[in-house]
């Protein structure tokens, strides 16, 4: 999955230039279009964002905006791996990471980090 997502991201950016990339899990029926718009806007301010699932271990969404690399790491404990990655990216670029929320499949708030 990670290799396929990375290849797709590279292909899209090779054809379209700098674009925002979003990877969403298929099981987000509670998500409203306005929430997705809000999440993309928040991701743009930091370049990369991740939405953790309601269990706190998986990833519901991954955002790579502007020139930020997608670098997906889906799999066991993906939330931990991707949060560390996003925090390192944000810190390296002088940004503070602030939490907000977005509904998960069962409409429970989960962590979203710039």
73 and 57 Cβ atoms separated by less than 8 Å: no
pLDDT of residue 50: 80
Instruction: Enter the tokens of residue 4.
Output: 């396929």
Does this model's pTM top 0.85? My answer is no
pLDDT digits (tens, 9 = 90+) for 32-66: 888 888 888 888 877 778 887 777 787 888 888 88
Give the SS3 label for residue 58.
coil
pLDDT digits (tens, 9 = 90+) for 59-96: 888 888 888 888 888 888 787 777 766 665 554 455 54
Instruction: Enter the tokens of residue 19.
Output: 């674009």
Angle at 100 between CA 64 and CA 83, to 5 degrees: 50
pLDDT of residue 97: 45
């Amino acid at each position: 999955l990670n290799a396929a997502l990375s290849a797709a991201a590279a292909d899209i950016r090779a054809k379209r230039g700098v674009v925002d990339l979003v990877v969403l899990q298929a099981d987000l029926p509670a998500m409203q279009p306005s929430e997705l718009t809000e999440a993309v806007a928040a991701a743009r301010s930091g370049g990369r964002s991740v939405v953790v699932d309601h269990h706190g271990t998986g990833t519901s969404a991954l955002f790579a905006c502007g020139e930020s690399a997608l670098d997906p790491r889906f799999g066991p404990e993906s939330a931990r791996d991707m949060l560390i990655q996003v925090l390192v990216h944000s810190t390296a670029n002088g940004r503070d990471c602030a939490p907000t929320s977005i509904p998960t499949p069962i409409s429970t708030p989960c962590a979203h980090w710039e």
